[in-house]
Amino acid sequence: MSHDLWHEIYHFLTHEARLLDQRRFEEWVELFTDDAFYWAPPRSNRLSKDEAQEVGALGDLAYLEEDKESLRGRVKKLRTGMAWAEEPRSRTRHIIANVEVHPGNSESEVEVSSDFIVYRSRLETDQDFFVGTREDILRKVDGHWKIAKRTIILDHAVLTAKNLSIFL
């Protein structure tokens, strides 16, 4: 794993984070491949003998299970000016860390793990932290990295936020 590749991926993730915090949502969606899969399963409290079931399985109810079209729809919703959950907008800060890059299934793909703390402030004093990890598959398309698959594993069993109206 070359330093250059790691830096390339790290730059991609920090740029992605900044796009979101700057509310450049249309540009953010275009960071995804056309066949992208974006999934955030729920998490439960399980005894350690049942640890394998702690994170929701694919096919269970999840917070998010999106494709590029539905992500575009969510961005379109935000731009109507009547998406009340984001009117006024949340103020976010995506802190991305602990980035690890591994070879993917093909020459054009890499597997990336990164951890996040996303701070969200809204209205006067509403504050939330969304914390967790992302398992991504990034694919090089026409010389640019894009997100082909993102699995967001939140550390919360119960979200203490009034909604998840921002992108992670």
Partner 1 sequence: MTLHAKDLVAPEKGQVNRRIYADPDIYHEELERIFARCWIYLGHESQIPNPKDFMTTYMGEEPTILLRDREGQIRALLNMCRHRGNRVCMADRGSTEQFTCSYHGWTYDISGKLISVPGLKEIYFGELETDRSGLVEVAQLDTYKGMIFATWDPQAPPLLEYLGHMTWYLDLLVDRVEGGVEVIGGVHRWVINCNWKLAVDNFIADMYHASTTHISAFMAGFGGGGSRRGYGSLGWTGYQINPARGHGLGTRWCNTDEERLETVSPELAEYERSILPEMERRLGTVRAYRLSPVHGSLFPNLSWLFGTRTFRVWHPRGPEKTEIWAWFIVDKKAPPEVKRAWRLHCMRRFGPAGTWEQDDMDNWIKSSASGRSGIGQRYPVNFQMGLGHERLHEQLPGLVGDLQNEINNRSFYSFWSDLLSGKSWAEIDLKISAP
Nearest to 154 by CA among 66, 24, 39: 39
125 binds partner 1 per the rule CB under 8 A = no
Q: Between residue 135 and residue 164, which ones bind partner 1 under the rule CB under 8 A?
A: 157-164
Q: Which stretch binds partner 1 (CB under 8 A): 19-27, 69-77, 93-101, 139-147?
A: 69-77
Residue from 6, 10, 23, 56 that binds partner 1 (CB under 8 A)?
56
By the 10 Å C-beta count (0-12 exposed, 13-18 middle, 19+ buried), 80 is classed as exposed
Q: Sketch the per residue contact string, 27 through 46, with partner 1: x for CB under 8 A, - otherwise.
A: -------------xxx-xxx
Phi/psi at 51 (nearest 5 deg)? -55, -30
71 binds partner 1 per the rule CB under 8 A = no
52 binds partner 1 per the rule CB under 8 A = no
**74-81 contacts, C-beta under 8 A, 24 or more apart:** 74/167, 75/25, 75/26, 75/28, 75/29, 78/25, 79/25
Q: Which residues bind partner 1 (CB under 8 A)?
A: 40-42, 44-47, 50, 56-57, 59-66, 70, 73-74, 76-78, 80, 82-85, 123, 157-165
